[in-house]
Structure 1
Amino acid sequence: MSLVSEFLGQLTLTLGGGEPSYPTVVPEPNFDPDKDAARIETAIKTKGVDEHTIIDVLTKRTYNQRREIAFAYERRAKKDMISALKAALSCPLETVILGLMKSTSQYDASEIKSSIKGLGTDEESLIEILCSRSNAELQDIKRVYKELFKKDLEKDVAGDTSGDFGKLLLALVSTTRDEPSSVVDNQKIDDDARALYDAGVKRKGTDVKAWIAIMSQRSVPHLQRVFERYKSYSPYDMQESIRKEVKGDLEMSFLTLVQCFENKQLYFANRLQDAMKTKGAKEKVLTRIMVSRCEVDLKKIRQEYKAHHGKSLHQTIAEHTKGDYQRALLSLCAGDD
Structure 2
Amino acid sequence: MSYGNYQSRTPTVVPANPFDPRSDAEILRKAMKGFGTDEKAIINVLAYRSNEQRLRIAYEFKTLYGKNLIKDLKSETSGNFENVLVALMTPLPEYYAKELHNAIAGLGTDENVLIEVLCTKSNDEIMVIRQAYQALYSKDLEEDLIGDTSGTFKRLMVSLCNACRDESMMVNPETARADAQALLRAGELRLGTDESTFNMVLCQRNWAQLQLIFQEYHNLTGHDIEQAIKNEFSGSAEDGLLAIIRSIKNQAAFFAKCLNKSMKGLGTNDNDLIRLVVTRSEIDMVEIKREYQAKYGESLADAIKGDCSGHYKKCLLHLIGEP
So what's the TM-score if we normalise by structure 2? 0.94
2:214 pairs with 1:227: yes
Superposed structure 1 runs of 4+ greater than 3 Å apart: 15-21
2:98 pairs with 1:121: no
Give the length in aligned residue pairs. Answer: 321
| Structure 1 residue 181: Cα displacement | 3.4
Tell me the amino acid that sits aligned with residue 88 of structure 1.
Answer: E
Q: How many Å separate the matches in 2 of 1:181 and 1:296? A: 20
Change in Cα spacing, 1:142 to 1:18, as seen in structure 2 (3 Å) is farther
Tell me the amino acid that sits aligned with residue 137 of structure 1.
Answer: E
**Could you tell me whether the CA contact under 8 Å between 2:4 and 2:169 is conserved in 1?**
no
**Could you tell me whether the CA contact under 8 Å between 2:3 and 2:169 is conserved in 1?**
no
2:306 pairs with 1:319: yes
Picking from 149, 157, 170, the partner of 1:161 is 149
Aligned to 2:272: 285
| Structure 1 residue 32: Cα displacement | 1.4
2:21 pairs with 1:33: yes
So what's the TM-score if we normalise by structure 1? 0.90
Picking from 241, 260, 268, the partner of 1:273 is 260
Tell me the amino acid that sits aligned with residue 170 of structure 1.
Answer: V
Q: How many Å separate the matches in 2 of 1:181 and 1:318? A: 39
Aligned to 1:132: 120
**Could you tell me whether the CA contact under 8 Å between 1:180 and 1:222 is conserved in 2?**
no
Q: How many Å separate the matches in 1 of 2:103 and 2:260? A: 22
Tell me the amino acid that sits aligned with residue 38 of structure 1.
Answer: E
- List runs of 5+ in structure 2 lacking aligned partners: none
Aligned to 2:172: 185
Name the SS for the 1:112 alignment partner.
helix
Name the SS for the 1:151 alignment partner.
coil
Q: How many Å separate the matches in 2 of 1:46 and 1:79? A: 15
User: Deviations for 1:127-151, whole angstroms, at most 9, x for unmatched residues?
Assistant: 1111122222212211222222222
Picking from 183, 190, 203, the partner of 1:216 is 203
Aligned to 1:93: 81
Q: How many Å separate the matches in 2 of 1:255 and 1:46? A: 51
Tell me the amino acid that sits aligned with residue 189 of structure 1.
Answer: A
Q: Report the aligned-residue RMSD.
A: 1.7
| Structure 1 residue 308: Cα displacement | 2.3
**Could you tell me whether the CA contact under 8 Å between 2:256 and 2:288 is conserved in 1?**
yes
Aligned to 1:203: 190
Q: How many Å separate the matches in 2 of 1:301 and 1:136? A: 23
User: Deviations for 1:279-307, whole angstroms, at most 9, x for unmatched residues?
Assistant: 54321221110011111211221122122
> Which range moved further: 219-228 or 314-323?
314-323
Percent pairwise identity: 37
Tell me the amino acid that sits aligned with residue 298 of structure 2.
Answer: K
> Which range moved further: 74-83 or 145-154?
145-154
2:61 pairs with 1:73: yes
Q: How many Å separate the matches in 2 of 1:74 and 1:285? A: 30
- List runs of 5+ in structure 1 lacking aligned partners: 1-14
Aligned to 1:309: 296
Q: How many Å separate the matches in 2 of 1:35 and 1:215? A: 48
**Could you tell me whether the CA contact under 8 Å between 2:54 and 2:89 is conserved in 1?**
yes
Tell me the amino acid that sits aligned with residue 297 of structure 1.
Answer: D
